[in-house]
Every structure is written in C-alpha cells, then in structure tokens.
Amino acid sequence: MDAFLCSHNGNPILNSPFFNSKTELTHLTSRTPAGCYSIRSLSIFSSMRLRSSKSVFGSNETLLNSTQIKKHDRVECNAANVSDHLVQANVIEEEATQSSEISPSFKVSAGQGFPLGVSETERGINFALFSQHASVVTLCLSISERKTLGEVDAEVVELPLDPSVNKTGDVWHICVEDLPRHSVLYGYRLDGPREWQQGHRFDSSIVLIDPYAKQVEGRRYFGDAGNKMSKFLGTYDFTSLPFDWGDNYLQPSIPEKDLVIYEMNVRAFTADESSGLDPDIRGSYLGVIEKIPHLLGLGINAVELLPVFEFDELELQRHPNPRDHMINTWGYSTINFFAPMSRYASAGVGPVAAQREFKQMVKALHASGIEVILDVVYNHTNEADDVIPYTTSFRGIDNKVYYMLDVNGQYLNFSGCGNTLNCNHPVVMELILDSLRHWVIEYHVDGFRFDLASVLCRGTDGSPLNAPPLIKAIAKDDILSKCKIIAEPWDCGGLYLVGSFPNWDRWAEWNGKYRDDVRRFIKGDSGMKGNFATRVAGSADLYKVNKRKPYHSVNFIIAHDGFTLHDLVSYNVKHNDANGEGGNDGCNDNFSWNCGYEGDTADTNIEALRSRQMKNFHLALMISQGTPMMLMGDEYGHTRYGNNNSYGHDTAINNFQWGQLDARKNSQFRFFAEIIKLRHKHAVFGHDNFLEKNDITWHEDNWYNFESRFLAFTLHDGKGEDIYLAFNAHDYFVKAILPSPPQKRRWLRVVDTNLASPDDFVPEGVPGIGALYDVAAFSSILLVAKPQV
C-alpha cells in the first residue's frame, strides 16, 4: 500500500463541470420538488421541454446563461455547515421558478433498470443508476462539439427523474431518444437526506460520475496545470467498430509456476525524453508497445501495471496544502472502476481512443508472450474524507451504501486514505465483480493484484470475516476464476493476513515475510539463516495447507512503494523531504543497508559492494520457489535518491532512465536478464508442489548458530543436472566444502556475484571447480552439474 494516501485530501467544491471553479461556487439551477418538470405529467413518448444552458467544458471557467445561475459564497462541505446547505437549497429552489424552458426537446421513456450505466436500446440511450437513499435524481447531459482540444461548445440539459415512473427498486432509469450515439457527456445530480450523523452526504450542487461509466472525459493531457480544476464526466460511444483482436489471437495462458512478473508504471516507463519516443506517445499505452523488445530482452513474461483506472493526477493541487506541488503518478486514487486512464493514451486523443490504445497494448504484449496483470484499488476511492472531500461519484450517489461507516455515520478508515469501500455490501460487491469481468471480457487482461486486499475481507461494519463473500465470489466466478488473482494481504487497520488470506486454493499473495526475511539475511542480520532457507524453499510454513502451491507465494524484494533495489543498498533511512510531509510519510522499517555510506559516493569499494548486493538479491529472488516479481528499473539500478514514497513525482525520480540502461546494458542489465533466463531454463526453480526430501539437500549442520550467515544447498532435477547454490552474508570469505556432483558429472561455475561482468555470469559455465570454493564476503555462487567431457 502507498503511504502517501494516509493524508490524502481533495476539494469538496470544485467538482461540477457546469460552474466556475476558480474562486466561487456557482450553481446551475438545482432540481427540487418545487421547481422540477415532472416526467409523470407528460406522455411517456411526448416531446419534453427541458432547461438547458451553454457551457464551456474543459477550461477553468464555465459560462452559463445569466438568467439561470447565481453566484454564492464558497461553502465547505462538512458537518459544521449542514445548515448552510439547507439555506442554500432554499435559495436554489427560488431560482428554479425563474428558469426558462429552452429547446432542444427530447422524447423520453421510463427506461429499464438493467444494465446499470449507459446502454443502447431499440428506443434510444438508456441510463440506469443505483441509489437506495436518494430522493431526487437528475440526469445531466452535455451534447458537445469539440472545437479545439481545450474547448467544448456544450448545451447542458437536465432531466429530472420521477420516482413513480423512473425507478425500479433502488435503481433509477430513463431512456432518451434522439441522443447522439457518441460524444455525449453525462452525469447526475442527486439529493436526499442531509443527516451526516446517519451517513448521508448528498449535495445536489455537484454533478457526479456514473459509477458504471465505461469512459470518463476530463482533461486531455497528463499533468496539464492549466486545467488542474478540470471536471470529470462519463461519456459513451456506440459507433466505433469492435476492436480487431486478430484471427490468430491467443492469450499467453502462462502457468502460474512459470511466471516472472515485472511491476511497472505505464507512464513512468516511457515518459522520460531518454526513451527516444515521439513526444505524443511518451508515457502512453503505445509507448509500452515500443519498448516490448526491452521486456523480451530482460526475459520477464508478465507485466503488473500500476493502476490504469481513471484517476485525477492533479488532485493534490486542487487546494493549498503541503503537497500541492506534486502530481500523483502512481494512480492509487480511483475515480471510476470501468474506464481506462484516458491520459495514458497518446497526447490529447481522449477516452474513446484510450480504450482502443489500451487494447492495442494488451494485444501487442500478448503477441510477445507477455501477460497483463492489473494492480486494482477496490479498498478506497479518491473521495477522501469529511475534512476536505473530493466528491466525484460514490459519496454523492449513496455514501451510506458505498463506504464503511461507524455508528455515528463517520468514515471507517482501514485504507489509510480517509475512506474504505464497503466491499462486502451486496451492491458494492456486484460493482466490483462487474468491473473485474469488464476488464477481462473487454480488455482481455490476464489477472489482477488487489491493493490492500485485507479490506476486501471486512464486513460492512469493518470487522474481519472468515469467509468474505467477495473473495469467495472472485475465486469461484466462471470468468474470474480463470485469471491470476493476487492479494496484497494486509491493510492499514492492522489486518495482516500473509499466509492466512481466505483463498479457496485460488488466491496468491504478495509475500511480505519473504521480502523482509530475504532483505535481513542478505544484508547480514544475525539469526536469519533459517528464515532465509524457508523463504527460498517456497514458504511452506505459510502456504503448505489444503491445495495451495508454492506459486501462491508472490516473492518480491522490491515493489513500487519503498526503496528501489539500488536505494535498498545505498540508504539506511528514507529521504522523503521532497514530498512535503516533513518526512512523516513512507515506511520506517526498510531493512536496508547503505554498505558504509549514505547515498551517492565515489568510493569504488562501496560501489562494488553495492553491486554485489543487488546481484545477490536478484539471484535469491529468481532461484526461490514461488512466483518472482521485480520492479521496473531495478535491472539497471534506478535510484529515487532515498525517497521510499515517490508517488507524487512526475520526474526522473520515477521515470525509467533509458540512458542509464544503455550505460549498464553489458553489466547489471546483462546479469539480471541472464538470471531470469536461467530460471526459465531450469524447472527446479519452479516446482508445482512443495519441495520434498529428494528435491533438495541442505549442506548445513549449523542451523542453530545465531551468528551463522552462510547457507548452501543443492537442488536436484532428477536427471543429474543438479544446481548448487551458496549465499554468504558474512563480511569475510567462507571456504565452502562442495558436495560431490552426480555420477559422471562435474561442477561448472555459472554465477559468482563477486566477479565483475562478464565473469559474474557465464552461461556455458566455467570448469575447474575443485572440492572447495572460496565464497567472497557478501556474495553468492551458482554451480551447475554438467556431463564430464
């Protein structure tokens, strides 16, 4: 989980696309019972005269007909000013009677309650929205003609829904004839009970995004500071031809035991000028396609993409705060669970093209034998808390349903982000399942990694569940059960479930104990040898239960949050001053070691030690039983200069440095790629089942020596091509007594991390290995038994 979100704030005011958002809150005339046009009073198929206004969408200013708007003093949305909202509502109601009826006219019908979201029917465009507690729902439409990339000439139409006609159960619905089949922006205004202590947060001044919108329109360029107050609305397109996946298209369908996962950020991968790409596709889905040869050269076969659901990268800049200089580049702040991040498309093309380009990326990765796993955030949303909320959707549609609340109607915060999605409520659970299925069916993704998945194991009151319905439903679903499903098995409320995550023998887990134990052993902590052996052997202590397998342990040493691999061996403490939080953000327990000097140094001995340590970590990761995951950039030694929580930097701190890769192509990159290819070549590193006595020999009679930091073992492949490994975390040489190789075989040295490139990895192996081998301080070796010549 990402520590930056622990103090996440938003702006409660500046959300509607139909009002001035710079300094004052300007309301479109609100629909109230006294001022609305009742659909019930009209024939279902008769022309309906609607209030409308002209607006400019996409700029900071929203221009409205002066007879329809009235400026009000800024009102903060918190419990202390509920009475202010009630007074404001009276003013708005008075305005409603003054509004004029303006064409265009639409024919409307009651519509249907299924499916939720927008759908095309024989009668027209159907809109369906769930809200159990709303008393007033108004559909807002903007039929826009984009004149330039920054301006839309929009006619805003509001259609109030009559609950006696346009409501079935808790679903509000309406069908509108004669609407264009694409390029219509839409959202909803809702009103209802205003009692915050009962959990309601209705505010009819805000136009809200449909939770089931498949496309979201907002600003067109990532990090465009000139449009930082841009609003976000749903849109749709029923005119585009289906995406052509190709006649010979197949998904890779790689067995879990054979996966090597590369965690990466779509934007950061190619955003830097050093990528050499055209500026229009840097940081985009198309940019990833251009760099597939790098992924193939490295040898990974699955990418785990940091969040690609629509999010507002400039949310930290919507109001003055210590972090308002930053841009959210990680994306753990979801606005909508169905729409791909539109600003990860090529420059300025918008949400429809974003869908197509995302599919192009998936298709190209699949054609190269690389699976696509999405990092998904269903534990919270961007809407923050009651201090300075950023209301865009769920909070204003039905706060009491979508979020976990205490008995006083206040947010429970197990995500560390101000709110917690009410995941096991039947309605929210179905939303999540629908979202996941959508990404599998529409976008052909291969799996999901669930951020703070322990939240998904909590009941509606926040208490832990032994058999959480959502977790079971994902494991048993006809579509999702065929996907890779990976849990981050903890949350910010202390529910730590590593090794005990409810799994139905299907769920894999990020193994946080693997990360910590391997870090501590390699850096030389006492008493860690037994733990290290357990982790590299597949963590049977955690996962050998029922029908679980070693590959259900997703092994990692480095992930997006925390130190990079370079920084893990270069810093003893975090250096997060640039984040603006006084160094209070980010994890304090990094189990890192700077190898004798904090940060950059010209000392060649320290640099050599750091290089060895990075190779030691990578070797340990790739020879361990389980599913290995590495972080983008570690293959060349990317540094964030000690920042272990770099969520808000759209700079070289996060961006892949292709020039540095080129400089280290024949050294660190070569070693990392060769080790990955070695893993693919030898099945002994990826057993289907946990190791048995005949699978491994531990060359160890010193298990209980607290000060012992040396471990050696042999993996047996049953065919004579055994592999011997030794890891020395002492600060002195250890003379290792080698076991006899299998009959008619001899040991060849393939890896010695103490040697410089290219001798650190010799694919064909180096002969001449005797009965003893001097394993250098803080180094590791790998020998392969080959036939005698």
- Could you tell me the sign of the dihedral formed by the alpha carbons of 131, 137, 143, 144, in that order? negative
- Structure confidence by residue, pLDDT tens digits, 687-716: 999 999 999 999 998 899 999 999 999 999
Neighbours of 348 (CB within 10 A): 15
Of 237, 290, 357, 488, which one is the catalytic site residue? Answer: 488
CA–centroid distance for 217 within its chain: 20
State the average pLDDT over residues 470-482. Answer: 97
- Structure confidence by residue, pLDDT tens digits, 30-85: 333 222 323 322 223 333 334 444 443 333 222 222 223 223 332 333 333 333 33
Give yes or no for residue 11 having a pLDDT over 90.
Answer: no
pLDDT, residue 749, reads 98
Mean pLDDT, all residues of the chain: 88
**Single pTM value for the model:** 0.88
pLDDT, residue 106, reads 83
| Residue 603 among the catalytic residues | no
| Spatial CA neighbour of 493 closest among 463, 472, 513, 450 | 463
Angle between the N-to-C axes of helices 426-443 and 351-367, in degrees from 0 to 180, rounded to the nearest 10: 60
| Spatial CA neighbour of 375 closest among 468, 276, 486 | 486
- Structure confidence by residue, pLDDT tens digits, 349-404: 999 999 999 999 999 999 999 999 999 999 999 999 999 999 999 999 999 999 99
| Residue 488 among the catalytic residues | yes
pLDDT, residue 320, reads 93
Give yes or no for residue 500 having a pLDDT over 60.
Answer: yes
- Structure confidence by residue, pLDDT tens digits, 757-778: 999 999 999 999 999 999 999 9
Instruction: Give the rounded percent of residues in the chain with a pLDDT score beyond 90.
Output: 84
Question: pLDDT grade, residue 143 (50/70/90)?
Answer: confident
Secondary structure, 3-state, 136-203: EEEEEEEEEEEEECCEEEEEEEEEEECCCCCEECCEEEEEECCCCCECEEEEEEEECCCCHHHCCCCC
pLDDT, residue 145, reads 54
Question: pLDDT grade, residue 643 (50/70/90)?
Answer: very high
Tokens for 415?
A: 């995500």
State the average pLDDT over residues 405-421. Answer: 97
Q: Which domains does the chain have, with CATH numbers?
A: 108-237 (2.60.40.10), 259-306+315-380+412-683 (3.20.20.80), 692-787 (2.60.40.1180)
- Structure confidence by residue, pLDDT tens digits, 173-201: 999 999 999 999 999 999 999 999 999 99
pLDDT, residue 105, reads 73
**DSSP class of 507:** -
Of 138 and 73, the one with more pLDDT: 138
pLDDT, residue 464, reads 98
Of 304, 451, 585, 752, which one is the catalytic site residue? Answer: 451
